[in-house]
Structure 1
Amino acid sequence: MTRRAMVTRLNQIDGHLRSVLNLPRADKATTLEEAIANSAATTEEVLFGDDGEGIALMPAVAQRLLMASLQAQVEARLISGDDSGATARSVIDSIRRLKAAPSLQALERQVCTELCHTIGFSSAVLSSIAADKFIPATSHGTRGTGKPVPRNAAVAEQDCVRFRRIIHAGGDEAPASEGFCEILGAADYLVAPIVVESKVVALVHMSRARGAIADGDVDTLGLLLAVYSFVYERLLNSARVEQLRVSIIGAAARLAEEADRIAGTAVSLDAGGDDDAFATDAAVDAFTAALSNRERDVFARMVRGDSNAEIAEELVVSVETVKTHVKRILRKIGAANRLEAITLYMDAQSRFGEQAR
């Protein structure tokens, strides 16, 4: 692709993205450098800005445009031949690998590897953020992940969280933390925020064993971590949807059990309060003759109005075991469901009472 064609492509993607998100349009770029700068400003505003609402609330078309913009920026740097262009092709491959991560855990493991193999850092560490410390979680090129680093001993890290931007620690910008210097085996390093839903949820530290950290490192790192934040939030929302699905299924099952319990209670309001509802009832003995002792125990509690979970807890068995017993009971006494089984039992009691009179 020519420089002019890339300028046109970046302008189009950036214009569409800003339009979909109701952001003011930037002046149309005429050079490749201007187009890269405009696109980078837009993606930074969307991913890291104070007013960002998170990827989950973006229209699907905006999510696709955001990813297209990030990838186009990498390709544009390759065409421009600037300092970061040398690794741009590797970054494109890295983006594809990050997008293919199947889970949050896999993505966290992958990012440190990509930073070292793609950009050329010698070591990288991903840390979670607690109220009083930074906790290294996964790393690449280090001797283990190291110990937690207190927040009050990490000036660069606090600035990174506060300003939500990449900090060069150990240089003129901010002092390096002894804890992270020890983990990385370096006197200076870069620390970058992972921003999800407009909040800094983690930090990534990187260092070079040889050579100084260059401006191109910062530019390429910003692109790669923007993609990481995008994929992280997408996977996070997928996990939330799955958790919600499981919760809804569980709630529906509990509601069904509660409905069974209420139906049983309504039918057996006149039943006695004895623990064994039919221990000495001759008619019921005949009615339940086909049941095993354990099935009689379960049926007695069904008549009392207990749910499957309550029966399981009282008999110290699993809910699945109770369900199996209930199915066998219904089959043996010829009932279609719990309510019909209890009705048949009440009819048996009633007939026995009439015969006794």
Structure 2
Amino acid sequence: MTVGNADLDRVIASLLTDMRTAPAERATELARRLADLLDRREAAAEQRIAEIDNLASHIDRAVHALDDAASTAELMRRACEQVAELCRARTVLISRLDEKRIIPMMSFSTDPDASPSLPRECDLLPGSTEARALETNTVSVDDMVPDQMRELLGNNGYCAIPVVVDGHAAALMHVDTTLDGPRRHALSVFAEMLGGCFERIGLETRREHQERLLRDSARRWTSDVDIDALPSRDAVDSAHMPRGHAEVDERLLDPLTEREADVVRLILTGASNAAIATELVITVDTVKSHVKRILRKLGVSNRAELIAKYQSLLG
């Protein structure tokens, strides 16, 4: 008699009920069956514990592999490699989200002979596996692979995993296999860690960008500052900046959150929404939301008025 793990408890309970009213000979047979099922249940539990321990070790190794990634591209490559190992998958695809578009960025295959091109970008369709993943912020599974991804993922089912950066889904990962519950959970944990790594790289990128802005601002607004003598970003505070420029920054950005201030600094360089999204590792929709709040808080109608206000404050 073959019994699946999910049915063991029910069968065991049924045997115990039968044993209460069974004659002695029948009860002995039922007892032998009960002992066998109890052994199988214990073995299954031990196997599940071993699988969970193994997954925990995989997650730990995977997260450590992301720690020192120095760029978004390197982080995506390492993430694809680690997800393939974690899921025992052949192919992993990572895409960025741009409003309602899925734009494939990088793929990884464990097959050295596989070199299919990236799928074409596509719309994020309501009710799709990807849309469900984003709505629930969980791993979603489907047996039917979208047409544009079949060359890369095959046609035996797949998973879609959202990657949340700064509170918003900024990327999607696709894996060419369906997964059981424990591996789905492990993949969700890894995706959460990956989002944190994207945020870290974004912070480092913004820090470097702010140092460049400081030096560029000094060049634009002063003519008597020794640029080469300016200290590094770690040593800079408002006392090192030209007094008028520092005061204007403080007056203009005071009503804003730290993230909104980052967006303003990029706007002042002439960056587009797409460029700001790339720089801050967030979606274009998130940038647009930030810009709307910034304009409202600063009492201006558009970017041109914002830049004009900044220049007028500089006097």
Letter of the structure 1 residue corresponding to residue 189 of structure 2: L
Alignment correspondent of 1:157? 130
1:253 aligns with 2:219: yes
Instruction: Give the TM-score normalised by the residue count of structure 1.
Output: 0.45
Alpha carbons of structure 1 residues 152 and 80: separation in structure 2 relative to 1, 3 Å: closer
2:128 partner amino acid = V
Q: Which residue pairs with 2:171 in the alignment?
A: 202
Distance 2:67 2:49 in 1: 26
The 1:258–1:186 alpha-carbon spacing in structure 2 relative to 1, beyond 3 Å, is farther
> Aligned match of 2:141 in 155, 168, 172?
168
Letter in structure 2 aligned against 1:256: T
Q: Offset at 1:91? A: 2.4
Q: CA deviation at 1:153?
A: 7.8
Taking the aligned partners of 1:256 and 1:224, their CA distance within structure 2 comes to 48
Contact 2:55–2:183 at 8 Å: present in 1 too? Answer: no
Per the alignment, residue 82 of structure 2 pairs with 114
Distance 1:199 1:147 in 2: 23
The one-letter amino acid paired with 2:77 is R
**Residue pair 2:87, 2:179 contacting (<8 A) in 1 also:** no
**Structure 1 segment 1-357 matched on structure 2, within 5 A:** 81=49, 83-141=51-109, 143-152=116-125, 155-170=128-143, 176-208=145-177, 213-257=179-223
Structure 2: gaps spanning 5 or more residues: 1-45, 226-315
> In terms of Rg, which structure is larger?
1
Judge conservation of contact 1:153–1:177 (CA < 8 Å) in 2: no
Aligned residue for 1:81, secondary structure, equals: helix
Q: Which amino acid aligns with 2:208?
A: E
Cα drift, residue 114 of structure 1: 0.8
Count matched residues: 176
CA distance in 2, matches of 1:228, 1:148: 22
For the residue of structure 2 that corresponds to 1:135, the secondary structure is strand
Q: CA RMSD in A?
A: 2.7
Whole-Å Cα distance in 1 between the matches of residues 52 and 176 of structure 2? Answer: 17
Deviation (angstroms), 1:154 = 7.2
> Alpha carbons of 1:100 and 1:79: their partners in 2 closer, same or farther (altered >3 Å)?
farther
Q: Which amino acid aligns with 1:151?
A: L
Deviations 1:134-178 (A, max 9, x none): 1110011162322112223871112222222211122xxxx6422
C-alpha distance in 1 between matches for 2:136 and 2:172: 13
State the AA in 2 paired with 1:186.
N
How high is the sequence identity, in percent, across the aligned residues? Answer: 17
Give the AA of the match of 2:184.
V
Counterpart contact for 1:164–1:193, Cα < 8 Å: yes
Query: How far apart in 2 are the matches of 1:186 and 1:84?
Result: 28
User: Is there any run of 5+ residues in structure 1 with no aligned partner, and where?
Assistant: 1-77, 260-357
Structure 1 residues 84 and 180: alpha-carbon distance in aligned structure 2, compared to 1, 3 A threshold:
farther
